[in-house]
Amino acid sequence: MHTFLVDLISVLIVLGIMVLVHEFGHFIAAKLCGVRVEQFSIGFPPRLFGIKIGETDYCIGATPLGGFVKMTGESMPGENLSLDGADHETIAAQKSDPGALTSHPRWQRIIIGLAGPCANFVLALGLMTAFYMLHNEVPLYEDQAIKLDWVLPDSTAAVAGLQPGDTIVNFDGQENPTWEQVYEHSALNLQSQNMSHMVWLAVLRDGQRVPLKMTLADGTGTTKSPEAALDKIGLLPVIQPGPVVVNSVASGSPAAAAGVQPGDAFVTIDGHAFHGTPTIISYLQYRKGAPVTVELSRGGKSSTIVVQPRLDAATEGSAWRIGFTGTPPPSRVEQMPLPKALAASAKFNRENSLLILEVLKRVVTRRMSVSTLSGPIGIAQETGMAAETPGWEAKFKVMAAISLNLGILNLLPFPILDGGMILFLLIESVLRHDINIVIKERIYQVAFVLILVFAAYVIFNDISKLPFLTHLKL
């Protein structure tokens, strides 16, 4: 019950903020363009309460998951959700009203349509910038000596002679490097013209200093980020002193089916003692979906279970997962200067925007099932887990990701969405006349029905993943 309440309260707060910012973007743009705003509502009708200031009614609706800005002239087909249509006399009157949306040039209406999604993008950028400036949680292992947790067999690191338990004491001339310094030196080498640059390094093994050399190439002949390259060549460091402790378990996941619970510690996997979720993920990919034997510690008692990983098509390139998140590794708080925080925020948002576009591409091309998508219930579970996760990182990142995704989804060129309205306006700009009102109305009616059907399917899919239904299936 506690988890349900946390999920419900957190999703109402998060979506409320996202919708408020989105609609505020439309509101400000409309005001700047001289469009009369009749109503600014958080939530959909019926209206619960509010206050009228000037020409605008600022109110709260009974349905909390949404909101809208009602502008004069919006009742025309294709311009809002009402789909009521309008007779020719009303349309003519609206076009002669200087405060009506339809009396303004199309470029201004396009700006008003873009303002909502752009407000979400600004919010996502601002959230992560504030996080990096005020409370950026940097894992302690990035500042400490690099001890290898595991070396991927047959990887570049393994070929170079690196072994689990090795401590890197020199990397490309840098004595006792931190993980961040390894990133920096790797970036410099990867940017060189030689795509298979040899790097000299030394490791401490059984008290002895062992010199080695390794190639910094990702195996494809293309330069990628240092993080991606290091992961691909098999450098997997110890990121926490003890075993990985489970923070949450996804409902319906292989881990849930095997009986894994929050608070469990993964002592060993197939006999290997791993000290970080990245290492576990890498090991699962190496095993290519084969069942893994896990030694768990729960309340001081040990037990052994077998978990069957599942291929996650939502992950770029697909990946084998067992469906749990680990508790964050020990960290320190770093306050970045504004330029550096802004750059880090831009990088975070760029990577997450590309991820959702990749997911949509996979769904359209049938490389990923629609059943993997999440609706309001799935979002509520994500916000609930973020709310209960220690520290601020998960909370800021979830809010930024939701705001970013909301902006991107609203820009899709589908009727009812902001992108659909913008598409119609662009077509009318090329044609230099309005699209027939009846045609517009029919297109939006069909689109509205399709969105309702899709929403119902996603919500049903969310409900089917709830733990009590999953247990019934088992």
* Assigned token pair, 246: 């489970």
Q: Tell me the C-alpha distance between 235 and 387, whole Å.
A: 32
SS3 37: strand
Q: Helix H segments across 82-142?
A: 88-96, 106-134
Tell whether omega for the bond before 291 is within 30 degrees of 0, i.e. cis.
Answer: no
The residue ranges of DSSP E strands in 262-354, in sequence order, are 265-269, 292-298, 301-307, 310-312, 319-321, 324-326, 331-334
Q: Which of 23, 74, 137, 382 is catalytic?
A: 23
DSSP string for residues in 127-183: HHHHHHHH-EEEEGGGGS-EEEEE--TTSHHHHTT--TT-EEEEETTEES--HHHHH
SS3 52: strand
SS3 50: strand
Of 401, 402, 421, 403, residue with least CA distance to 411: 421
Residue 108: count other Cβ atoms within 10 Å of its Cβ.
18
What's the sign of the alpha-carbon dihedral 288, 293, 294, 295?
A: negative
Q: Helix H segments across 201-315?
A: 226-233, 254-257, 277-287
Of 294, 245, 298, residue with least CA distance to 271: 294
Provide φ and ψ at 235, rounded to 5°.
-85, 105
Of 76, 3, 110, residue with least CA distance to 418: 110
Q: DSSP state, 102? A: G
Of 327, 303, 324, 329, residue with least CA distance to 261: 324
Provide φ and ψ at 257, rounded to 5°.
-65, -30
DSSP string for residues in 401-455: HHHHHHHHHHTSS-TTSHHHHHHHHHHHHHHTSPPPHHHHHHHHHHHHHHHHHHH
Annotated catalytic residue 393: no
Which contacts of 290-295 are long-range, i.e. CB under 8 A and separated by 24 or more positions?
Answer: 292/322, 293/269, 294/258, 294/260, 294/266, 294/268, 294/269, 295/266, 295/267, 295/268, 295/269
SS3 80: coil
Residues acting as catalytic residues: 23
